[in-house]
Structure 1
Amino acid sequence: MPAVLDSPAAVRRAAMDLLARREHGRVELAGKLRRRGAPDELIEAALDRLADEGLLSEARYLESFVAARARSGHGPQRIREELVQRGLARAQVEQALRESGIDWFAQLRDVWQRKFAGRLPVDARERAQQGRFLAYRGYPMDMIGRLLSGRGDWD
């Protein structure tokens, strides 16, 4: 039977349970608490308190999200759009991507080598196929073009 979220302590406990599993953004956490039946005024008060105590941090969430998506082979454009769709400010997202320290071209090259065994396309059809895959993963077209034309900085 789900817990009733009708008191500040119950809402805080539910929020801390969610934060114990992984970092959450404020909007995402509020949505999860709302779906569990917590009233908006209790949610806002609990989230304000958690943020004041340093238990809820947008910066930590952004850092964690960017690192996890990059490890799974996603590029900066896809990560940016996912974060904006999750209700984070574009300026914060841009800053997190800049500060991530990720070499996006090296990441692109790694994804390409794993998927296509490091084989440059031999014709337009193959180039389009590889380009579509890499663009879907969220890499910019200028980087993809540089990689697929063999003009990349290879180390």
Structure 2
Amino acid sequence: MSQAKFPKMLDYEKLKQQFGESSTESDRHSKYVNQKLDHNIENGAEQSAQLYAEQRFENDFNAQDDNAFNAEQDLAPKPKGLTGTRLRSYAFAVLARKEYSKADLIEKLATWAQDRDEVLTLVEELSANHYQSDQRVAEMTVRSQVRKGKGPNRIKLALRAKHLDKELVREDIAEIDWYEQAYQLKVKKYGTDVSKDPKIKSKQIRFLQYRGFEMDAIMKAISKKTDE
């Protein structure tokens, strides 16, 4: 497979022309998203510079591609489906919108493709050239779930839903202080007081269990005093 078939920099202008983007609407939406992100940062939103950059990049792409890469409509295939360069262009358009696990990307492309074997070959090539990466998707999933206050059990479910092997991020999950995560979530929901009421304690336990935390982290979290 020659490098020419997979240019390192995608020609998004060409793709936008191919898929019929309304640039005025896209620019207007992108400007609104960026202004909103700037406003959140100025008012003390608790995001790191890296997270802010990632979100801006992601939102820019989403705004830019809402019209340009609505491939399900623009590339609605004939009964024979997509093949060759049309399938390849669709694959790039899909990946420009968001990250997909290998299994999910195969199913996404196979919906519109003529030949599933061609899809399998194409996805392997995309993966080999790092346009698709299960590792990248898994790491993004972990970060997203942690930001949402989810514990390790919920993260494992999220990985399974994306057909991702949890071993890809085993070290990442092991490095997180789940006790501290559970405690911060408990404080945000119930405050710093350590309740002796069995009903309140049971409620807190159920809440943290639903969020996906292990019982040892939960018990430490609901028992921790502010001076400890």
TM-score band (shorter)? 0.7 to 0.9
Structure 1 residue 103 and structure 2 residue 177: aligned? yes
Structure 1 residue 45 and structure 2 residue 110: aligned? no
TM-score (norm 2): 0.59
Alignment root-mean-square deviation, CA: 2.3
CA distance in 2, matches of 1:47, 1:96: 26
Structure index of larger Rg: 2
Partner residue, 2:11: none
Partner residue, 1:88: 164
Aligned length: 151
Matches within 5 A, 1:1-155: 1-3=73-75, 4=77, 5-35=81-111, 37-38=112-113, 39-98=115-174, 101-150=175-224
Residue 13 of structure 1 deviates from its aligned partner by 2.3
Residue 84 of structure 1 deviates from its aligned partner by 2.0
Residue 41 of structure 1 deviates from its aligned partner by 1.2
What SS class does the counterpart of residue 123 from structure 2 fall into?
helix
Runs of 4+ in 1 over 4 A off after TM superposition: 151-154
Structure 2 regions of 5+ residues with no counterpart?
1-72
What SS class does the counterpart of residue 138 from structure 1 fall into?
coil
Residue 117 of structure 1 deviates from its aligned partner by 2.2
CA contact (8 A) 1:8 1:46 kept: no
Quick one: percent identity of the two aligned structures? 28
Q: 1:122 to 1:87 in 2, by over 3 A?
A: same
